[in-house]
Chain A
Amino acid sequence: MTIHQREKLSALLDGHIEGNEIVMELVDNATERERWFRYQLAGAVMRGEATTQQPFDISAQVAAQVASEAVYSQSGSAAQQQSVWLRVQRWLQNGWVRPAANVAVAAGVAIVAIVGVQNFQRVDDGTVVNNPVAASASSSLQGFETMPLGGVINPVSFNTVHPQAEVQDSDQERRLLQSFFVDHHQQQQLSDQESVENEDPVKEID
């Protein structure tokens, strides 16, 4: 696919153009089908729509929908359109969506990582902060984000295999674990600073 064609694919995704030929190319070319999926996923992530629970495999619904459509008349562009749909249906049933499952898992983990990073230090759990001392204490640490050296917040992020019903629970649990581990690291560093300040209260930093 040339750059020009990719632009067209992108435009098609955004709903700017309609095109049969580009869809035909998509259907015929396995690499392009994957690219199509990646574009869609990237778009979904950027719009904040992607979730791990989202069913990526919609082939069954599409197939059912296609089957229930009225048969088009045999004339002109309608016939062409139908044949496109039939081919779409065929490759959906052939399971082209399967490699996407791996991407979905990876994206899920990545999103958890991003959310983890961005949520550091934010106290936005809906509770009203009554204690002014505590409030000022938590806000004073803005910008202090201890990160383990590997850049991964905690190995717990990788416990991705859970029965569907427990997903909500395990997300909650992961947040709790990260909350404690991150704080444990911060407090160790702060206590180190505290002891240095106690030994030598005069700051001499140029």
Chain B
Amino acid sequence: MYGQRFLLASAVIASMLASSSAFASAQPLASANFASASANFTLSSVANDEQRALVEGERWFDFMQEALNNYNFSASLVHVQGQRVELFRWLRGSTEENESLELLRSLNGPEVQIVRRNQHVSYFHSMATPYSLRSNSMFGPIPTALFNEFSAISASYYAVPMGGARVLERPTIHLRLLPHEQDRFGYSLWIDRESGLPLRIATVTLEGEVLEQVQVTSLEVSTEPHPDLEQILELNPPPVVTDNQAQTQLVHNWQINSLPTGFTQIRANHHRLPITGIAADYYLYTDGITRVSVYVTEDPRTNTNLRYDGLESLYTHAYRDYSVTVVGRLPMATLQRIAMSVRR
């Protein structure tokens, strides 16, 4: 068993190294594409035109959301994150009994499979115990916000239609999700004009750097759900995770004084972290797309200036007798501002 895990892990590393070198040449191409797209962008100075464009943008977003939640389709996609390139097969369909089924399976590296039957999502990973959760959408390469209506993100983002582009041999509309405030990332969606399905999705910094991309490489929309989806109906799903943490009481009432606008609290509790067992007061906030975690702990081990820069970043600010760690897909400056604003 141990030996097998060792081999698996080695295989992961080998595939990582292979993929990183392969992607090195593709990166400049992708960012060049994006730069030209953003250069074309000029908001109309006439307020009416602007208003009309935003209404149109919202309509495109909701058109996409409808398609994602109702169509029968089978697709392949490439997910690119930094040096990492992953390949997936993605199926979605509705049965005659009106059951909503979805399947996402990795094609490279260790076998990962996510299966959704209505609000029951199961995660299978060759290196971990399978588990299920109740949710409307799966945590995968497609941002969960795309499955909800635009109204869920309208407090923090504008939907700006940028005009047409050809993606996967289809005419698409390039829709940008621009944050109201300059303290978070933006998103670019290329939506198939005919089906409404997103064919390309990019997470973009304010400077225009692409942090993460999903590119659909094949897409077939059908009247009947893909036969592979029927296997989900016969699947005996792993047990649903019991969430005993939701009701645990915070130890202190911390004041987070500098939370970016549009973020609302969706979870607060006191729990111990995996791996290290550090006990922390915990807050989770979302603006509809991105989520940010705030940990306040008196554990001396976190009394360091920990910092990690990436698509998902982390910043720890140590106070005299407690420390605050902020984790999320936000620019480092924003994480820093949040961490330094927490008072007892």
Bound together = yes
Which B residues lie within 8 Å of A120 (CB)?
A: 128, 274-275
Which B residues lie within 8 Å of A188 (CB)?
A: 139, 284, 291, 293
Which B residues lie within 8 Å of A173 (CB)?
A: 304, 306
B266 close to A (CB within 8 Å):
yes
Q: A10 → chain B, closest Cβ, in Å?
A: 14
Q: B274 → chain A, closest Cβ, in Å?
A: 5
- Kindly state the interface size class of chain B when it binds its partner: 35 or more
Dominant secondary structure of chain A at its interface with chain B = helix
Which A residues lie within 8 Å of B267 (CB)?
A: 187, 190-191, 194
Which A residues lie within 8 Å of B131 (CB)?
A: 143-145
Question: Which stretch in A20-28, A55-63, A75-83, A124-132 binds the other chain?
Answer: A124-132
B257 close to A (CB within 8 Å):
no
Q: Is the CB of B279 within 8 A of A110?
A: no
User: Whole-angstrom distance between the alpha carbons of A113 and B266 in the complex?
Assistant: 31
Q: Digit string of A136-180 for contact with B (CB within 8 Å is 1, else 0)?
A: 111011011111011110011010000000000000110111111
Which A residues lie within 8 Å of B5 (CB)?
A: 114, 117
Which B residues lie within 8 Å of A11 (CB)?
A: none
User: Whole-angstrom distance between the alpha carbons of A146 and B278 in the complex?
Assistant: 18
Q: Is the CB of A197 within 8 A of B134?
A: yes
B270 close to A (CB within 8 Å):
yes
A66 close to B (CB within 8 Å):
no
User: Whole-angstrom distance between the alpha carbons of A51 and B144 in the complex?
Assistant: 41
Q: Is the CB of A137 within 8 A of B244?
A: yes
Q: Is the CB of A149 within 8 A of B86?
A: yes
Q: Is the CB of A184 within 8 A of B327?
A: yes
Dominant secondary structure of chain B at its interface with chain A = mixed
Q: Is the CB of A137 within 8 A of B248?
A: yes
B273 close to A (CB within 8 Å):
yes
User: Whole-angstrom distance between the alpha carbons of A134 and B16 in the complex?
Assistant: 37
A195-B10 contact given A145-B129, A151-B126, A200-B119, CB 8 Å threshold: no
Q: Is the CB of B134 within 8 A of A193?
A: yes
Which of B84, B282, B284, B302 meets A150, CB within 8 Å?
A: B84
Q: Is the CB of A121 within 8 A of B274?
A: yes
A183 close to B (CB within 8 Å):
yes
Q: A45 → chain B, closest Cβ, in Å?
A: 6
Which B residues lie within 8 Å of A196 (CB)?
A: 119, 134-136
Which A residues lie within 8 Å of B328 (CB)?
A: 184
Which of B119, B135, B245, B277 meets A123, CB within 8 Å?
A: B277
Q: Is the CB of A193 within 8 A of B314?
A: no
Q: Which of B256-311 contact A (CB under 8 A)?
A: 266-267, 269-279, 282, 284, 291, 293, 295, 301-302, 304, 306, 308, 310
Q: B10 → chain A, closest Cβ, in Å?
A: 5
Q: Digit string of A89-127 for contact with B (CB within 8 Å is 1, else 0)?
A: 000000000000000001101110110110111111101
Q: Which of B129-145 contact A (CB under 8 A)?
A: 129, 131, 133-136, 139-141, 144
Q: Is the CB of B293 within 8 A of A183?
A: yes
User: Whole-angstrom distance between the alpha carbons of A169 and B101 in the complex?
Assistant: 46
Q: A40 → chain B, closest Cβ, in Å?
A: 14
User: Whole-angstrom distance between the alpha carbons of A193 and B119 in the complex?
Assistant: 9
Which B residues lie within 8 Å of A84 (CB)?
A: none
Which B residues lie within 8 Å of A114 (CB)?
A: 2, 5-6, 9
Nearest B-chain residue to A131, judged by Cβ: B279
Q: Give 4 nearest A-B pairs by CB, closest first.
A: A123-B277, A151-B110, A110-B9, A140-B244
23 A/B residue pairs, CB under 8 Å, sorted by A:
A106-B13, A117-B5, A117-B128, A119-B275, A122-B275, A127-B277, A133-B248, A134-B271, A138-B272, A140-B244, A143-B131, A143-B241, A147-B112, A147-B127, A149-B141, A152-B16, A172-B301, A179-B274, A182-B275, A184-B293, A187-B282, A189-B139, A196-B136
Other A-B pairs, 13, CB within 8 Å; known A45-B6, A182-B274, A193-B133: A46-B2, A120-B274, A121-B274, A123-B277, A140-B242, A143-B131, A147-B125, A176-B301, A177-B306, A179-B273, A180-B293, A196-B134, A200-B119
